Structure 1
Amino acid sequence: MLFCYGTLRFGDVLKALLGRIPEQVPASAPGYRAAALQGRVYPGLIVCAPGASAPGIALTDLSNEEWLILDAFEDERYELREVVLSTGGSGLAYIWPGEDVRNEDWDSAEFEEHHLAAYAARCARIAPRLAAGEPKGE
Structure 2
Amino acid sequence: MYGTLQFDAVLKALLGRIPEQSQVSAPGYRAAALEGRVYPGLVLRAFGGSAPGLVLLDLSKEEWRILDAFEDERYDLHEVTLSNGRLGLAYVWPGGDVRDDDWDAAEFEERHLAEYAARCARLAPRLVAGEPKGE
What is the TM-score of this pair, normalised by structure 1?
Answer: 0.96
Task: Give the distance between the partners of 1:117 and 1:70, measured in 2 at CA.
Answer: 19
Structure 1 residue 51, shift from structure 2 partner: 1.7
CA deviation vs aligned residue, 1:36-71 (integer Å, no higher than 9, x gap): 000000000001124210000000110000000000
Aligned match for 1:64, one of 61, 65, 73:
61
- Count of paired positions: 135
Task: Give the distance between the partners of 1:97 and 1:125, measured in 2 at CA.
Answer: 27
Q: Match of 2:61, as an amino acid? A: N
Question: Is the partner of 1:76 in helix, strand or coil?
Answer: coil
Question: Is the partner of 2:106 in helix, strand or coil?
Answer: helix
1:31 is matched with: 28
2:39 is matched with: 42
What is the TM-score of this pair, normalised by structure 2?
Answer: 0.98
Task: Give the distance between the partners of 1:89 and 1:25, measured in 2 at CA.
Answer: 12
Report percent identity of matched pairs: 76
Aligned match for 1:129, one of 100, 110, 126:
126
Task: Give the distance between the partners of 1:10 and 1:132, measured in 2 at CA.
Answer: 23
CA deviation vs aligned residue, 1:108-138 (integer Å, no higher than 9, x gap): 0000000000000000000000011111113
Matched, 1:114 2:111: yes
Task: Give the distance between the partners of 2:46 and 2:99, measured in 1 at CA.
Answer: 15
CA deviation vs aligned residue, 1:1-20 (integer Å, no higher than 9, x gap): xxx00000000000000000
2:94 is matched with: 97
Deviates more, 1:50-59 or 1:118-127: 50-59
Structure 1 residue 83, shift from structure 2 partner: 0.1
Task: Give the distance between the partners of 1:20 and 1:135, measured in 2 at CA.
Answer: 21
CA deviation vs aligned residue, 1:47-100 (integer Å, no higher than 9, x gap): 112421000000011000000000000000000000000112010000001110
1:52 is matched with: 49
Task: Give the distance between the partners of 1:84 and 1:39, measured in 2 at CA.
Answer: 29
Asked whether the equivalents of residues 129 and 135 of structure 1 are also in contact (C-alpha less than 8 Å), the reply is: yes
4+ runs deviating over 2 angstroms: none
